[in-house]
Each structure stands twice: as structure tokens, then as C-alpha cells.
């Protein structure tokens, strides 16, 4: 996926916020749809509890895996009960260059992880308290095994290719103000390895993580409802998947053709320079070096600007993945829950959060409270 296309995708989907369909199925279930705003066609369909609010979009994959995927959340009226599908997590490594990542947008991992290991890794990132293992519905386990088996069968003609994966779920606890919230973190992890160069191997892994949240004591009932109704699963539109595959193939062909044209142009330029007379060779060399220096300076400036932009985008992605937001004001610049739209601080290390735009803790809570400003994850102004 070219940078220009990726930028267009990110710009458009950043404003894509979709609501669930109005008609509810029997059994208290409704269908929500996600439309890819780039192609203008339905991409995914998700079953959620009737009466819940829904937000979702498609998200471009990182450079180590460019296939787009759905990201969404559905939540009850009280905002404390929720299900969501998080952005996909990818990491790639090889035995020839240990520690080298395919992209800064992929996880800094250099080994395969089981689903249970990944969940422990993720829960430590969000500061959740591990409670224990949770069961995984047999149908979910079967789908995971079938997916891995399909990968191995599809690559049966590639010597040395092997895929493996599993699914697991754990119970963790977090705090939402004074409420203790239980969460079920469930992860699918799939890794595939293949021969690389000089006898080495290259391995690519991905994890999909879905989350259920409920006040303490209500998580098991929510998990049972979701598993029995096969909720929180995204059914893809085959026509959409075909468009995505066509787009990625076209992008790959365009990059290849551009590289061939560039190589031809370089060879022609080299031949012309070779045929120049000795009388003007030094002059041409000086002009070439000056042009290269100018291009290098321009490229460095553009690279620095691009790195700053990626840093801001990456910090915002981290805030989203960890279900947090960054605010600044009298309480300093801090990371805090993204479940609320308004945050107040008394400057003494205490915060008050609410979704009511008219709420004001001054006069109700002790101290002098001021509303904080939401900023990017790296602290820069939005």
C-alpha cells in the first residue's frame, strides 16, 4: 500500500463513525454494519446486543501486513458494559537479523507467543490486574484451528512453511473511577515461518484481541450471552475482500513498474554521462554533487517532518489501543481513561471525569477544579 493511499485511507477513516442498524433480530440482538469509506461499500457485519450504541470503521494494516481490518466497540446505555474489537497487533522477525523489526508500527517482539502469553503481555501494558483464566467456546477454538490448517494447506507447495496458532481468554480487573470493572481479554494469535536466506527463517505473527467489560460480578453473564449468540464477531463481505485484494495487487504492480522505469532512467543517465567528453566531465561532476547535496538536504527535511508526523500518529494509536487519552492542564500532562469526554483536575493529583458537558465539580467537591485539555498521545496540541 503506497504512502499516498495509506494517508488517504487514514484521513478518511479517521472521521468514519457508524451506528448500528435500527432493526433488531429476535433474541435481543441487532446487526451493525461497517462501511469502508474509501470504496464506499459495506465491509463487515457485526451482531451486538439490541439497544446498544455502536461505533466502528476499517483500519489499514501496518507495513508488515497491509490488509485492512475492522475496529469497533458497542456499549450499553450506562457506559460500563461494553464489547470491542481492538486494532490488530503484528510483529515480524528473522533469525538472520535478530532484533530487527519490519516497521516501527509493528510490536517490538522477536519470538513467537502463545495466545495466553500474549494476553499476559498486553494486560501488563494496560496496567490491568490478572485474576485468572477464562474458558473459550468450542466453536471459537475450532475456527482458529481451521484457519491455521487452511494456511498450512494453502502453502503446502512451499517447502519449510509452517503456521501455528491458538486462542485463549483471561479475566482481569481495572478501575473506572470508583467502579471495579471486570474484563475478559480474548486473543487469537497466529504465527507462520518460512525459509529466508542463508539458511535462516523469517516469522510473521499477528494477534486479534476482543474485550468484554462489565461491572464486577456481571462479566460471566455477559460472556455467556456473547458466546451463546456468537456476538462480537465480524463477518466480512466477500465482494469487499475481493476489492481489497485487487487494490493490493494493483499497488504492488504499480510499485514494480515504477522501480523498473526508475532503473531504466538511471541506466540511460549513466550512459549519457559516460559519453560526455573529457573536457566537461569535471564540470558535470561538480554539478552532480551539488544536486545530490541539495536533494539529500531536502530529503532529510522531509524525512524529519514525516518522522514527527508518524510519532504523533503512533502515540495516538497507542492511546487508542490502551483505552486511554492524554490530557494536560493544571494537573500536568497525564494518561487517563478514554471512557469520558471531559476531565477536571484540582492540581493536587486528583481527577474527575464525566460525559456530561455541563457538569462542574467546583462547589461540589473540595478544591479548585479546572477542566483539562485533550492533546495528542505525545503531549503535542491537537
Question: Which of 8, 136, 9 shows the shortest CA–CA distance to 69?
Answer: 9
State the number of CA atoms in the 13 A half-sphere of 379 facing the CB.
Answer: 4
pLDDT classification of 314: cutoffs 50, 70, 90? confident
Q: Find the range with the poorest average confidence among 59-63, 195-199, 224-228.
A: 59-63
CA 287 to the chain's CA centroid: 46
Q: What is the pLDDT of residue 5?
A: 32
Residue spans of alpha helices (H) in the chain: 3-13, 115-125, 138-154, 219-228, 238-275, 278-321
In 10 A of CB 377, how many CB atoms? 20
Q: What is the pLDDT of residue 214?
A: 95
Q: Residue 269: exposed, middle, or buried by beta-carbon count in 10 A (0-12, 13-18, 19+)?
A: exposed
Strand 234-236 and strand 324-328: pairing? unpaired
Question: Which of 32, 369, 38 shows the shortest CA–CA distance to 234?
Answer: 32
pLDDT above 50 for 371:
yes
State pLDDT tens for residues 168-178. Answer: 999 999 988 88
* List of long-range contacts for 275-280, beta carbons under 8 Å, 24+ apart: none
Over residues 240-252, the mean pLDDT reads 76
pLDDT classification of 245: cutoffs 50, 70, 90? confident
Question: Which of 179, 178, 145 shows the shortest CA–CA distance to 164?
Answer: 145
pLDDT classification of 236: cutoffs 50, 70, 90? confident
Question: Which of 119, 338, 325, 76 shows the shortest CA–CA distance to 213?
Answer: 76
pLDDT over 70, % of the chain: 77
Starting from the edge strand earliest in sequence, which strands make up the sheet with 351-354, in order? 351-354, 342-345, 370-371
CA distance 370 to 382: 19
Question: Which of 164, 69, 86, 68 shows the shortest CA–CA distance to 125?
Answer: 86
CA distance 96 to 301: 32
pLDDT classification of 306: cutoffs 50, 70, 90? low
Higher pLDDT, 79 or 122: 122
pLDDT above 80 for 62:
no
Through-space distance between the first and last CA atoms of the chain, rounded to whole angstroms: 27
Amino acid at each position: 500500500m503506497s504512502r499516498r493511499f495509506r494517508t488517504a485511507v487514514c484521513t478518511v477513516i479517521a472521521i468514519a463513525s457508524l451506528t448500528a442498524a435500527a432493526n433488531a433480530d429476535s433474541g435481543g440482538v441487532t446487526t451493525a454494519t461497517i462501511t469502508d469509506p474509501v470504496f464506499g461499500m459495506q465491509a463487515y457485519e457485526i451482531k451486538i446486543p439490541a439497544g446498544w450504541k455502536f461505533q466502528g470503521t476499517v483500519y489499514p494494516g501496518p507495513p508488515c501486513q497491509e490488509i485492512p481490518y475492522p475496529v469497533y466497540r458497542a456499549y450499553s446505555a450506562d457506559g460500563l458494559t461494553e464489547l470491542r474489537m481492538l486494532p490488530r497487533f503484528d510483529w515480524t522477525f528473522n533469525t538472520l537479523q535478530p532484533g530487527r523489526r519490519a516497521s516501527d508500527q509493528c510490536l517490538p517482539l522477536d519470538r513467537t507467543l502463545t495466545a495466553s502469553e500474549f494476553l499476559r503481555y498486553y494486560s501488563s501494558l494496560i496496567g490491568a490486574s490478572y485474576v485468572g483464566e477464562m474458558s473459550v467456546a468450542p466453536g471459537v477454538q475450532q475456527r482458529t484451528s481451521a484457519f491455521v490448517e487452511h494456511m498450512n494447506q494453502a502453502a503446502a507447495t512451499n517447502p519449510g512453511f509452517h503456521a501455528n496458532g491458538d486462542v485463549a481468554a483471561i479475566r482481569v480487573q481495572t478501575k473506572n473511577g470508583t467502579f471495579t470493572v471486570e474484563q475478559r481479554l480474548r486473543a487469537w494469535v497466529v504465527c507462520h515461518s518460512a525459509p529466508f536466506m542463508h539458511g535462516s527463517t523469517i516469522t510473521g505473527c499477528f494477534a486479534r484481541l476482543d474485550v468484554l467489560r462489565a461491572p464486577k460480578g456481571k462479566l460471566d453473564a455477559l460472556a455467556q450471552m456473547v458466546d451463546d449468540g456468537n456476538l462480537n464477531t465480524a463477518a466480512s463481505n466477500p465482494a469487499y475482500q475481493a476489492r481489497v485484494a485487487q487494490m493490493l495487487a494493483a499497488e504492488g504492480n504499480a510499485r514494480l513498474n515504477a522501480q523498473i522505469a526508475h532503473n531504466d532512467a538511471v541506466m540511460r543517465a549513466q550512459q549519457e554521462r559516460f559519453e560526455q567528453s573529457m573536457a566537461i566531465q569535471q564540470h558535470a561532476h561538480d554539478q552532480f554533487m551539488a544536486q545530490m547535496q541539495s536533494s539529500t538536504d531536502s530529503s532529510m527535511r522531509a524525512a524529519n517532518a514525516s518522522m514527527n508526523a508518524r510519532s504523533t500518529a503512533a502515540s495516538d494509536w497507542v492511546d487508542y489501543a490502551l483505552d486511554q487519552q492524554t490530557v494536560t492542564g493544571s494537573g500536568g500532562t497525564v494518561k487517563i481513561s478514554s471512557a469520558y469526554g471531559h476531565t477536571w483536575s484540582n492540581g493536587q493529583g486528583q481527577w474527575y471525569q464525566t460525559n456530561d458537558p455541563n457538569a462542574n465539580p467546583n462547589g461540589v467537591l473540595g478544591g479548585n477544579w479546572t477542566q483539562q485539555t485533550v492533546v495528542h498521545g505525545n503531549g503535542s496540541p491537537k
